[in-house]
Amino acid sequence: MRKPIRRLLTIFAAAAVALPAALAAPASAAPAPTVVAEERVDARTLDLTVDSPAIGQKANVRLLLPDGWDNRPSGKTWPVLLMLGGCCWSDGDGHESWVQKTDIETYPELRKVIVVQPIGGKAGYFSNWKQAGGPRWEDFHLDEVLPLVEKNYGGGKKRAIAGLSMGGFGALSYAGRRPGMFAAAASYSGTVHTQLFMLGPSSVQAVLIGQGLDPNGLWGDPVKDEKTWAAHNPAELTDNLRKIPVYLSSGNGEAGPLDAPGTGFDVKEKTIEGMSQLVATKLLLSGGKVQTSFYGEGTHAWPYYGRELKNSLPMLMGALGV
């Protein structure tokens, strides 16, 4: 009996020595995002390529620079406007969409801030995917891109966020999920109520299926994983959103003044109008600071997004102190 007891005592003694050493050993640091390339497109446009652990790929980010950026003194910073694009751009060109499709470079207000325009994937939905090994878009945008802009490119701690369509969802979802991070948020024809009866879940999952993605890979099953869906849904985040100015805009789906001749009725935009009106009402009833632009005739199209961005700039810039 003594030999087995001695053997056990030896094992326990070795474990007692090893355990504190194991506890003291530093955990391996998570890989950090890095800027692997820069391209100066023109006097005010700087494109970055970020090697992102969060999404497991190299990703593009476009910065629209403020006046005086090249000659900034040490420590000089500018407020940041994070601009999110819509769905179904290829992974490479989403960062160019706002500049290509609107005239934001001509807006004088945007010469006083750094406009950050990252890719969002074909249908990333500005979320860390529930699916094992899925992309972590929220981490990429908020925990990788923004800190890199602040560390290396003059970004300050005053931030606002805006987006169109899927990006309108992202703007309000991010602002609601990260209270205190953004001073204001704006949605232009955004899918801001992803649990609206059956319309919300079906519209989200139809987009995912259309891009060849697992419809349950994003937030799980809409019924079984209802809490995960709600945790990203702007309509369920109004307790946080009511603390900041929010801009909501949408058309009613009928062809409007900015549509091409022969444009038909847009069911998607009509659905989005209903979503946006419900969220606006919920915010107003809770004492939120809401500015709305439900402008009637208009479809889900770029000319309206650019116009609404321009109309929302006084609110966004005011929140940034510009």
- At 42-90, the pLDDT tens digits run 999 999 999 999 999 999 999 999 999 999 888 899 999 999 999 876 5
Phi, psi of 83 (to 5 degrees): -110, 120
Give the pLDDT score at 11.
Answer: 42
| Lowest model confidence (mean pLDDT) among 1-15, 28-42, 185-199 | 1-15
Q: What mean pLDDT do residues 222-248 have?
A: 97
By CB atoms closer than 10 A (0-12, 13-18, 19+), residue 309 is buried
Both tokens of 167, joined, read 């990006």
Buried b (16+ CB within 10 A) or exposed e, 204-228: bbebbeeeebebeebbbebeeebeb
Phi, psi of 115 (to 5 degrees): -95, 115
Which tops the pLDDT comparison, 31 or 233?
Answer: 233
Amino acid (one-letter) located at 90: S
**Could you tell me the pTM of the whole model?**
0.89
Instruction: Let me know: does 185 contact 317? Beta carbons within 8 Å.
Output: no
Give the pLDDT score at 30.
Answer: 74
Tokens 């006097």, located at residue: 43
- Angle 267-285/199-210 helices, nearest 10 degrees? 130
Percent of the chain with pLDDT over 70: 89
Q: For residue range 1-12, what is the model confidence (pLDDT) as tens digits?
A: 444 445 544 444
- Residue 32, pLDDT above cutoff 80: yes
Which tops the pLDDT comparison, 229 or 121?
Answer: 229
Instruction: Let me know: does 67 contact 111? Beta carbons within 8 Å.
Output: yes
